[in-house]
Amino acid sequence: MKIGKQEIIASNENGINAEERLRRIDIVGLMRNFKAVDFWEKEGVESVLKLIVSLKEKIGKYESVVSDDVSGRLVSLILWKIINKTRIVHNEKLAKILFVASGREIDGWQKVNQQKKFSINELIKNNKDKLGKTLVVTEYISSGESMERLIKIMSSYNIDFDIATVSIKCNPGAYSKIISDKVYYGEIGASGIMFYFKNIYAGVHKKFGSAEAFSEKLGPLTTEMKNVRGDINLLVDEAVKLIK
């Protein structure tokens, strides 16, 4: 069985590999402990865990996380927390996290598209010496165009990176080599759409047509936002058990 980019064969101390541990998880049972019941979907949670297993051999090596858009922020937070839990165990410096607002280009808005690209370029350029080994995170790759724009900028500054997505629409071979050679994913499908239009739960939003690279804060966290973040901590703890 293959999950994401590579087969996971490393075993834990009991001789049970990460794939087998994943198969044994009761996803529905796990979700019964979640408080934000309207947020989560079984397929999405399963794909997040599969993605994490696919990154098992590298997860503690990343020195930074770059979140490619607002809707991918929660996924980025999940991976960032897992990376840092792993790095703490190995006495490594905590990974950084950087949020950009790439997204799709808007038809007929050439000036806005150019401004957005410029802003992202400036953000990456100003941080390139601080990123180190980087994991670029998104929730779903469809056409791959927005991801390709971002990683081309990163490549231009010789940043060492991999790509992580909860789900990808097509087999990686259908995308450009710059994506297919670097991508790790939870499933081929659309389960990552679980995170679409739910950026409000992260406490941020992106203004329509904004060229700003950083997302804007919405203000104090609501109870539902706090519930989602609490659920994320439960999911992170379960994921760490998979890959330890």
The enclosing domain of 223 has a CATH number of: 3.40.50
Furthest-apart CA atoms within the chain: distance in Å: 58
Please check whether residue 194 is in contact with residue 74, taking contact to mean a CB–CB distance below 8 angstroms: no
Q: How confident is the model at residue 177 (pLDDT cuts 50, 70, 90)?
A: very high
Domain membership flag for residue 33 = no
Inter-helix orientation angle 73-89/223-243, to 10°: 40
pTM for the predicted model, two decimal places: 0.84
Domain membership flag for residue 36 = no
Pick 10 or 224 by higher pLDDT.
224
When pLDDT is averaged across residues 119-146 and rounded to a whole number, the result is 94
Domain span holding position 175: 58-230
Q: How confident is the model at residue 11 (pLDDT cuts 50, 70, 90)?
A: very low
Domain membership flag for residue 217 = yes
Q: How far apart are CA 109 and CA 194, in angstroms?
A: 28
Q: Parallel, antiparallel, or unpaired for β 64-67 and 134-141? A: parallel
Domain membership flag for residue 67 = yes
